[in-house]
């Protein structure tokens, strides 16, 4: 770019001499290209490195590993290679017979458990009634004993001692019956009142197992996590899969990221929301505008990871550059036109050295037009 400006300057001087504005090539005219070059470098080119830093940009797409959450035989494969798939559409199905059978079994067990709760309630009510009856009999025996004891004490001849002993034995027997009835009542109450969040624990356990079984059943149909496509489908009907086996790579088409590597001497002036321009080799002659949406200044060679060594193991120096994420303005290009792996250049226009912004814009556009020839 500096050479172009110097060339234009020399061409202007040549034209001025040609049309007789200047009679000859003066010394200052011969030296001026060097002066112009120095001025351009000092005022525009060098400050541009931090006023409008530029770096390589790469388009990234999100790839999701598709793995079933359940095990079984593949019953059907619906996905086809490189055919667009909408979010929620079925990719493939796993034989669901045993998972459906488990759901049916637990549904029956749940109904039975709910019936058992009613039986436990009836048992508790019966035990409660028995306990109340035992208490009434005990109270009557106690009254009889107290009357017999009082009569024996006031008139020893009116009542035989054996009758008092029998009344006392009946009272002791009644007390034992009360304790037994109370124990049975408490046992029935604990069985009936065993609850969690207002529901019988037995019913709650079966309900949780049923939800888990229904979840497994629903996962027999593996669905697309987003809009996208499968680059290559190799899964076959009848193949046995274990839970967690990675069988497909799903490329999302509704989300791409543009990440630019910005030199460290220019990243210090980059801020969120600043204007950016991107050129991609795949689209020569086009310049896309956008803005900075994320800045990651931590680089791989600046990270320390935990280990069991006393001494810290430093990473190898790789001269990594900070990463800046750029979001393109809407309406310039369809998202499905951006393919993961596309590369180009990105320039960010900071608030520093604004006089260099025009110089960067011109050089960036010159480069994108050169892509017609060089790539």
May I ask the CATH class of domain 52-61+251-374? mainly beta
DSSP string covering 276-307, please?
EEEEETTSTT--EEEEEEEEE---GGG-----
pLDDT of residue 41: 57
Beta strand extents in the chain (DSSP E only): 54-66, 72-77, 90-94, 195-196, 199-200, 221-223, 228-229, 240-241, 248-261, 275-280, 288-296, 323-328, 343-349
Residue 175: how many CA atoms within 13 Å on its side-chain side?
Answer: 9
What are the CA-CA distances from residue 302 to residues 248, 305, 307, 317 (Å)? 34, 10, 16, 9
Q: For residue 275, which phi and psi values (nearest 5 degrees)? A: -70, 145
Question: What is the spatial distance between Cα 30 and Cα 14, in angstroms, rounded to a whole number?
Answer: 11
Task: Summarize pLDDT for 199-237 with one digit per residue, the tens.
Answer: 666 777 888 899 999 999 999 999 999 999 999 899 999
Q: Which residues of 255-277 are buried (b: 16+ CB within 10 A; e: fewer)?
A: ebbbbbbbeeebbebbeeebbbb
From the list 339, 372, 218, 281, the residue with the least C-alpha distance to 56 is 281
- Cα(252)–Cα(133) distance, integer angstroms: 73
Token pair belonging to 119: 């039986």
Tens of pLDDT along the chain (375 residues) come to: 555 565 566 566 667 666 766 666 656 666 666 666 566 655 666 667 778 899 999 999 999 999 999 999 999 999 999 899 999 999 999 999 999 999 999 999 888 877 776 666 666 666 677 777 777 777 776 776 666 666 656 666 555 556 656 766 676 776 777 777 777 766 666 565 655 555 666 777 888 899 999 999 999 999 999 999 999 899 999 999 999 999 999 999 888 899 999 888 888 889 999 999 999 999 999 999 999 999 887 676 677 676 666 666 666 655 678 899 999 998 899 888 888 889 999 999 998 878 778 878 888 998 899 888 876
- Would you state the structure tokens that stand for residue 295, as one six-digit string? 């800045």
d(C-alpha 78, C-alpha 248), whole Å: 12
The answer for residues whose C-beta is within 8 angstroms of residue 324's C-beta and 6 or more apart is 55, 259, 260, 261, 262, 267, 270, 276, 292, 294, 295, 296, 346, 348
The per-residue pLDDT for 314 is: 60
- The HSE-up count of residue 363 (CA atoms within 13 Å, CB side) is 20
Dihedral (CA of 299, 301, 305, 311) sign: negative
pLDDT at 22: 64
Q: CA-to-CA distance for 303 and 81, rounded, in angstroms?
A: 39
Beta strands in 79-182 (DSSP E): 90-94
Give the pairing of strands 228-229 and 275-280: unpaired
Which pLDDT tens digit goes with each residue over 316-331?
655 678 899 999 998 8
For 86-99, the DSSP string reads -TT-EEEEE--HHH
Task: Give the pLDDT confidence of 156-190 residue by residue, as tens digits.
Answer: 655 555 665 676 667 677 677 777 777 776 666 65
Evaluate if pTM is beyond 0.85.
no
Q: What is the largest CA-CA distance in the chain?
A: 165
Residues present in the chain in total:
375
Helix, strand, coil percentages in the chain from 3-state DSSP, rounded to 5: 50, 20, 30
Task: List the chain domain ranges.
Answer: 1-49, 52-61+251-374, 68-93+224-245, 98-216
User: Alpha-carbon Rg of the chain, whole angstroms?
Assistant: 44
**What's the pLDDT at 207?**
84
């Amino acid at each position: 770019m500096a050479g172009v400006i110097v060339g234009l300057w020399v061409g202007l001087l040549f034209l001025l001499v040609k049309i007789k504005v200047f009679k000859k090539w003066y010394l200052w005219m011969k030296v001026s290209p060097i002066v112009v070059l120095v001025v351009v470098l000092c005022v525009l080119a060098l400050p541009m490195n931090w006023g409008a830093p530029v770096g390589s940009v790469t388009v990234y797409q999100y790839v999701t590993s598709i793995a079933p959450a359940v095990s079984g035989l593949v019953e059907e494969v619906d996905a086809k290679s490189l055919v667009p798939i909408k979010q929620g559409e079925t990719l493939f199905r796993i034989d669901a017979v045993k998972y459906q059978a488990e759901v049916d079994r637990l549904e029956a067990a749940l109904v039975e458990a709910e019936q058992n709760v009613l039986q436990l309630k009836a048992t508790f009510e019966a035990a409660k009634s028995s306990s109340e009856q035992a208490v009434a009999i005990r109270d009557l025996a106690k009254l009889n004993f107290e009357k017999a004891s009082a009569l024996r004490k006031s008139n020893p001849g009116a009542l035989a001692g054996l009758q008092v002993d029998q009344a006392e034995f009946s009272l002791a027997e009644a007390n034992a019956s009360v304790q037994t009835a109370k124990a049975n009542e408490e046992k029935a109450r604990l069985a009936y009142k065993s609850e969690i969040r207002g529901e019988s624990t037995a019913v709650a356990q079966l309900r949780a197992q049923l939800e888990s079984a229904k979840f497994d059943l629903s996962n027999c149909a593996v669905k697309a996590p987003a809009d996208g496509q499968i680059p290559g489908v190799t899964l076959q009907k009848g193949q046995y899969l274990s839970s967690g086996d990675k069988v497909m790579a799903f490329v999302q088409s509704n989300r791409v990221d543009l990440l630019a590597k910005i030199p460290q001497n220019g990243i210090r002036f980059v801020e969120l929301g600043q204007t950016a321009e991107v050129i991609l080799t795949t689209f020569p002659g086009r310049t896309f505008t956008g803005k900075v949406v994320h800045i990651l200044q931590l680089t791989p060679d600046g990270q320390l990871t935990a280990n069991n060594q006393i001494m810290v193991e430093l990473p190898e120096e790789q001269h990594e550059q900070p990463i800046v994420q750029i979001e393109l303005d809407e309406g310039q290009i369809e998202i499905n036109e951006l393919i993961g792996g596309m590369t180009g250049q990105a320039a960010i226009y900071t608030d520093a050295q604004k006089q260099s912004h025009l110089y960067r814009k011109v050089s960036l556009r010159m480069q994108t037009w050169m892509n017609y020839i060089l790539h």
